[in-house]
Structure 1
């Protein structure tokens, strides 16, 4: 959510009174609403129509992440599983089915398919127009994977559980593991 705040143009510190309005190319041009992060309520809205939302959002996210990540060369050769936020966005899109009798589905997708087909459609409002942050979140995920060195043709395995154990803890463990690669 802190990345979302940075992409929206906010700072990761509470304002000194009053509310803050954030205008972003990653939100639908007609959208105006409220969003809360770290106990701060923001007014957020899309900027006026002009440049296609996907391209404008992509440019914004690339600027926010520029030179903030180190490529993990191991990503090219290792099986890659994505959990939590990644899985939830895929469910939001209907790319992965929702729970079936206590079992959650696992799905494999390539990032190139998502980037070329699905994300631009979401950002243009053709899919899921009632989810104003979906374009921002998806573009962030795709740029993050690119910056980490994840190949476009490689399968991205999305899952919520492993052996019926919730995987939300895995995000912190993954960051710690990637950081240990940097130190060696």
Structure 2
């Protein structure tokens, strides 16, 4: 379909403010009022940024992601209700559907549009778009614009989504894998995912320091976990554990092996935690860089334990997810970032 360069060029970003809070809403599954309080802190930032005469014309929207999709309906709705009340108390415009849980595929589409718009890939006649990878706590998303007809033919129908933008139709490959986020993957590797009665059980892994015994809260549930007292620890046995989580469970489009991708969220966090990239600027990594760092951390687990007891497991899971899950090559390049600032501030893949 023909594109109108004029239409594209008229849409420009004049400015933005990025602010985030941790942990996410799902961490307050049993304390919805405290969860809503974190949203109020973000609204306070918006109040400072938006001129008062525009408050009533400025809509506020919260689209919750996979963390809330994993909660019970009762707990998720309690959180959303508290957030809605905070919105209503703010000076901003509150649309009818301003607070809801976002569909996983929609999450991937929005990320893809945002990245390609900010990097200039959707302006003029430029059609060299980049894919996006997002690794949250409960789910992971992959989105890209297929270039080959073969990809479209071999892809399951529910992985493809069409939409119109800038007088063009885009047919995206996008899918959200619920239960394959970093924190959900920890439970799966420990053998604790989808187990109803976890109270009192100790879940052990060769991805954790041998002497470790601790508690961890996720999705409103308390888990006890620790290292294996007997047997091997380190990268090799750990990789075998996490491999079971992803092996044969994700669709692998051949085209992505030669494509360019931006990677966000826990890809960025774990890369920063282990000095693979700069905290402010992010960086360009090859898939094998995650594997190299995973081996270093896992084979020296006690030294890295202070950063996070799950660091070995997390890096090993990211390695397995990229290689065995999605099917990326060792030398596939990833732009690993927290946010995309502007086209001028981003280095090229070349």
Provide the rounded CA distance (Å) in 1 between the counterparts of 2:232 and 2:269.
28
Shift of 1:28: 1.1
Q: Which residue pairs with 1:20 in the alignment?
A: 201
**Aligned pairs for 1:167-182 within 5 A:** none
How many positions carry a matched residue from both structures?
A: 157
Kindly indicate whether the alpha-carbon contact (under 8 Å) linking 1:4 and 1:136 is maintained by their aligned counterparts in 2.
yes
Provide the rounded CA distance (Å) in 1 between the counterparts of 2:333 and 2:318.
15
Within the alignment, does 1:8 sit opposite 2:190 as a pair? yes
Within the alignment, does 1:155 sit opposite 2:333 as a pair? yes
**Consecutive aligned runs of 4 or more in structure 1 exceeding 6 Å deviation:** none
- Cα deviation digits, residues 61-113 of structure 1 (max 9, x gap): 11222211111222112111110010000111122222xxxxx3120111223
Question: Which protein shows a greater Rg?
Answer: 2
Kindly indicate whether the alpha-carbon contact (under 8 Å) linking 2:208 and 2:233 is maintained by their aligned counterparts in 1.
no
**Aligned pairs for 1:59-74 within 5 A:** 59-74=240-255
TM-score by length of 2: 0.42
Q: Which moved more, 1:85-94 or 1:44-53?
A: 44-53
Q: Which residue pairs with 2:293 in the alignment?
A: 118
Within the alignment, does 1:88 sit opposite 2:263 as a pair? no
Provide the rounded CA distance (Å) in 2 between the counterparts of 1:29 and 1:43.
14
Within the alignment, does 1:133 sit opposite 2:310 as a pair? yes
- Cα deviation digits, residues 17-39 of structure 1 (max 9, x gap): x3332111111112111111111
Kindly indicate whether the alpha-carbon contact (under 8 Å) linking 1:93 and 1:128 is maintained by their aligned counterparts in 2.
no
Kindly indicate whether the alpha-carbon contact (under 8 Å) linking 1:119 and 1:138 is maintained by their aligned counterparts in 2.
yes
| Larger RCO (CA under 8 A, 6+ residues apart) | 1
Kindly indicate whether the alpha-carbon contact (under 8 Å) linking 2:267 and 2:336 is maintained by their aligned counterparts in 1.
yes
Provide the rounded CA distance (Å) in 2 between the counterparts of 1:8 and 1:133.
11
TM-score by length of 1: 0.78
Provide the rounded CA distance (Å) in 2 between the counterparts of 1:43 and 1:87.
27
Shift of 1:9: 1.2
Provide the rounded CA distance (Å) in 1 between the counterparts of 2:290 and 2:193.
29
Over 3 Å counting, the alpha-carbon distance change for 1:14 and 1:37 in structure 2 is farther
Provide the rounded CA distance (Å) in 1 between the counterparts of 2:228 and 2:205.
6
Provide the rounded CA distance (Å) in 2 between the counterparts of 1:91 and 1:30.
26
- Cα deviation digits, residues 117-136 of structure 1 (max 9, x gap): 32111002265221210111
Unaligned 5+ runs, structure 2: 1-182, 343-350
Kindly indicate whether the alpha-carbon contact (under 8 Å) linking 2:207 and 2:233 is maintained by their aligned counterparts in 1.
no
